[in-house]
Amino acid sequence: MEPRTADFRTIAREVLRLARLLPVPLTLYVLCAATAFSFVDWTFGDAFTWFEALVLLADGYLVYVLTFLLMAEAGLFADGKRGGFLAFLLVSIVSGMLIVLGTLALIIPGLILFARWSPAVCDVLVCNEGVTDALRRSWDATSASMFALLPHAVLAMCGYTAVSLLELLPDRVLGIAPLGFVFIANVVGAMSVAWGVLLSVATYRLLMMPLPDHASGDGAGYAPANGAGQSPA
C-alpha cells in the first residue's frame, strides 16, 4: 500500500488544530518545565546531579502524558491503548540519541531522522510492538511526506539551538547567565518540546492512523469519545 501524503500547510494546520484542543495543558507544561529547568540551571550550573536526572525523568513523563492527552482528545485510541510510559520512553531515548548523533555529524541527517521518526512515539502507544517496529513503521509512513515535514523539523531544531545561544552568549559576555535569560531560554526549549509533541501527534494522525472504510480522506474530523476511559498510566 502506498504511503499517505501531507503537504506543509496541511501538517501546519493539523498542528495548530491540535494546539487549540488542549491550550491549558500545553501552557502549563511550558511554564512548569521552564521553571524546573531554570531552577536546576541556576542552582547547579553545568554540574549534572541526581536532582537534574529526576527532573529529566519527570519531564519525560509530562511529555508522555501530554502526548497521551492529545492523542485521546483527537480520537486516536479507537482500538485501545497498548503502550505505556516505558515503551514511550524507550522509543524517545533511542530515536533521540540517533537524532543527536545525526545532527552532530552533518546536521541534515539529524533533521531527516527527526522528521521521519516524529510519529513513532504515538505508534508505540497504539501498537506497542517494540522500538524497532515503531521506528520502521514511522519511517515507511513518512517517506512520501519527508520534504513537507523537514521545515517543521527545522523549526524545532532552531528552538533547541536558541536555548544554547540564550544561555551561552550572556555567559561569554558577562561571565554569568542572568536568571531572566536562563528562564527565557528554558521557555523556548519547552515550547520546542511542545511543538515536537504536536508534530508527532499530527503526523501520526495524518499519515499512520488507520482509516475507517467510510473515511473521506480529508482528515478533518475528530472523535474525542474514542479516547474515553483510557488512562496514561
- Per-residue confidence in pLDDT tens, the chain, 233 aa: 688 999 999 999 999 999 999 999 999 999 999 999 989 988 887 778 899 999 999 999 999 999 999 999 998 987 777 788 999 999 999 999 999 999 888 889 999 999 999 999 999 999 888 899 999 999 999 999 999 999 999 988 888 888 777 767 766 666 666 777 788 889 999 999 999 999 999 999 999 987 765 454 444 444 444 444 566 76
- Cα distance between residue 9 and residue 186, in whole Å: 28
Backbone angles phi, psi at 57, to 5 degrees: -65, -45
- Cα distance between residue 96 and residue 131, in whole Å: 12
Q: What is the pLDDT of residue 223?
A: 44
CB 71 within 8 A of CB 227: yes
Rounded to a whole number of angstroms, the CA Rg of the chain reads 18
What is this structure's pTM?
Answer: 0.87
- Cα distance between residue 193 and residue 200, in whole Å: 10
Q: Is the dihedral of CA 212, 215, 217, 220 positive or negative?
A: negative
Cell of 159: 528552538
Environment class of 52 (CB within 10 Å of its CB; exposed 0-12, middle 13-18, buried 19+): middle
